[in-house]
Amino acid sequence: MKYVFGNWKMNLSRSEAVTLAEALSHAASGGRVSAQTQLAVFPPICWLDAVSAVLRGSSVEFGGQHSHSSLKGMFTGETSPAMIAELGAKWCLVGHSERRRTFGESVLETAARCAGAVNAGLQPVICVGESGTEQTDGHTVRIVLEQLRPCLAALGPTTKPLIAYEPVWSIGTGRLPTNDQIADVTATLHAETGGQIPVLYGGSVTPDNARELARILGVSGFLVGGSSLDADKFLKIAAEISDK
Ligand code: PGA
């Protein structure tokens, strides 16, 4: 199975989100998406209900971009993973670099949020990735393993997580690691998990580079930011990896 997941981040109006979800749902039901490729979208939380209504009965899945470690309580402004699950979501991103770096989420906090998602029955997409300086200084492997291991410890026996390797310096910049660099990190992640968890690549994936990236051994799909806001671009990326 290949996975092409779209992280809409803090973008799109309500009607734009609904229109995009409708376009993806129509494409999937019209046979434009291979049965071997799982599409999922991660809308802003306030549009999740509207998007879930569009995607009910569709093969396109959806999830939360972020969730709290607890299922309920006095946490103003946070979202319970149980609430996300109640809308029919299957997935939740955990530890996206914008959460880790911009909002200062620690490795342990991320692991707690991962455990919360698992408790709510969501499948976590565990995001890991090094900064530009960490990459230049040769710390990529150490950093991604430090981020990954506490999350792995939070998984349950029936959890079917994914890992998204997203170098921070590649997100939204148009700069990509070499295929060999991606393959090396992917191999490390597979070694750490006994090859049991599919690994996606994320960072500046576009319809133009998806074919080349899809060739990389061990990469089972993409976590797409900017290019997931346009149905045609997102579907083209999905088509490129489906051929592999
Ligand atoms: P990008 O974002 O595709 O816009 O680089 C990827 C991500 O942050 O998941």
Question: Could you list the pLDDT tens digit for every one of the 244 residues in the chain?
Answer: 999 999 999 999 999 999 999 999 999 999 999 999 999 999 999 999 999 999 999 999 999 999 999 999 999 999 999 999 999 999 999 999 999 999 999 999 999 999 999 999 999 999 999 999 999 999 999 999 999 999 999 998 889 999 999 999 999 999 999 999 999 999 999 999 999 999 999 999 999 999 999 999 999 999 999 999 999 999 999 999 986 6
**pLDDT of amino acid 157:** 87
Interval between CA 112 and ligand 1 midpoint (Å):
23
Distance CA 228, CA 35 (A): 19
**pLDDT of amino acid 244:** 60
Distance CA 199, CA 106 (A): 22
Interval between CA 9 and ligand 1 midpoint (Å):
9
Q: In testing the pocket of ligand 1, which one of 205, 208, 213, 234 has its CB within 8 Å of the most ligand atoms?
A: 205
166 lines ligand 1 (CB under 6 A): yes
Q: Which of 132, 123, 62 is nearest to 97 (CA)?
A: 132
Q: Which of the 8 DSSP states describes residue 122?
A: P
171 lines ligand 1 (CB under 6 A): yes
**pLDDT of amino acid 87:** 98
Interval between CA 108 and ligand 1 midpoint (Å):
23
The answer to whether residue 130 is catalytic is no
The answer to whether residue 166 is catalytic is yes
Query: With helix as H, strand as E and coil as C, how does the chain read?
Result: CEEEEEECCCCCCHHHHHHHHHHHHHHHHCCCCCCCEEEEEECCHHHHHHHHHHHCCCCCEEEECCCCCCCCCCCCCCCCHHHHHHCCCCEEEECCHHHHHHCCCCHHHHHHHHHHHHHCCCEEEEEECCCHHHHHCCCHHHHHHHHHHHHHHCCCCCCCCEEEECCHHHCCCCCCCCHHHHHHHHHHHHHHCCCCCCEEEECCCCCCCHHHHHCCCCEEEEEECHHHHCHHHHHHHHHHHHCC
Interval between CA 58 and ligand 1 midpoint (Å):
24
For ligand 1, what atom is nearest to the CA of residue 228? 3
Distance CA 234, CA 4 (A): 8
pTM equals 0.97
**pLDDT of amino acid 31:** 93
**pLDDT of amino acid 226:** 98
Whether 151 and 108 have beta carbons less than 8 Å apart is answered as: no
